Amino acid sequence: MLQGTRAVITGASRGIGAAVARRLEGEGARVVVASRSAGPTAGGATHVPTDVRDAGSVTRLFAAAGEAFAGRLDILVNCAGVCYLEPLAGMDLAQFDEMMATNVRGTLLCVRAAVPLMRAAGGGDIVNMSSALAARPITAGKGGYGASKRAVDAMSEALAEELDGDGIAVHTLAPTWVDTPMRRALFAEDPTWMSDDDVADALVFLLTRPAKVAVQALRLLPRARYYQR
């Protein structure tokens, strides 16, 4: 079903975004990947150096995607993200600002730049990476990151309504712990972590529902019965 579709994936230099890029390419999509550093790009994916916090950089990304895809786009996956887990009262404000600029503003900038290309294609799918940490209640030490992902949820809910008339579906994908460089930088390895390929599987599920079925939010949790804690 994804054969020949045109996709932009941000945050694809490693982790979940890289797994999503590999998977979509495997499904036959044409892929443009965006991040500050160039990761190992799968197959024929084109990497456009991009800082999603910067409006000019995002404009250049979608100009390049428009050129590669003859002015049309079917899929945007917003995976670019950063995570700092500190108690809010003492949190370094530069880290807080970076999370808001990357996770919230970066997601919105990419959506805004993608919409004209999706309208030209007659519709499309936008998947924004949220997190199970955005679910209630957000616990101690997770307030800044949780707030940024709850903002992603809120924007995505509004965008789903705003863009429905254009045939553009907006989804959030919210995994718990995923084995990626982000996760490994924060915590010791844990057997409940899922793999980045598990998240890519869920993303393909989202993208391949019948057009009349909207899966707006998908949460991925570890199943406790499979782990001895």
> Strand pairing partners for 35?
49
Residues that bind ligand NAP (CB under 6 A): 10-17, 35-37, 50-53, 79-83, 102, 106, 129, 131, 175, 177-178, 180-183
- Residue in the block written with tokens 């100009």: 63
Residue 35 contacts residue 77 (beta carbons within 8 Å): no
Q: Distance (Å, rounded) from C-alpha 4 to C-alpha 185?
A: 36
DSSP state, 140? T
Cβ neighbors of 226 (< 8 A, separation 6 or more) are none
The nearest distance, CB 178 to ligand NAP, in angstroms, is 4
Please say which residue, 120 or 135, places its beta carbon nearer to ligand NAP: 135
The nearest distance, CB 148 to ligand NAP, in angstroms, is 8
Please say which residue, 55 or 182, places its beta carbon nearer to ligand NAP: 182
Please say which residue, 5 or 107, places its beta carbon nearer to ligand NAP: 107
Please say which residue, 121 or 143, places its beta carbon nearer to ligand NAP: 143
Cβ neighbors of 137 (< 8 A, separation 6 or more) are none
- Residue in the block written with tokens 């309208």: 119
The nearest distance, CB 106 to ligand NAP, in angstroms, is 6
The nearest distance, CB 154 to ligand NAP, in angstroms, is 16
User: Which one of 84, 145, 226, 227 is the catalytic residue?
Assistant: 145
Length of the chain: 229
Residue in 92, 86, 72 with CA at minimum distance from that of residue 6 = 72
| Catalytic site includes residue 145 | yes
**CB burial string 132-144: b at 16+ within 10 A, e below:** bbbbeebeeebbb
| Catalytic annotation, residues | 145
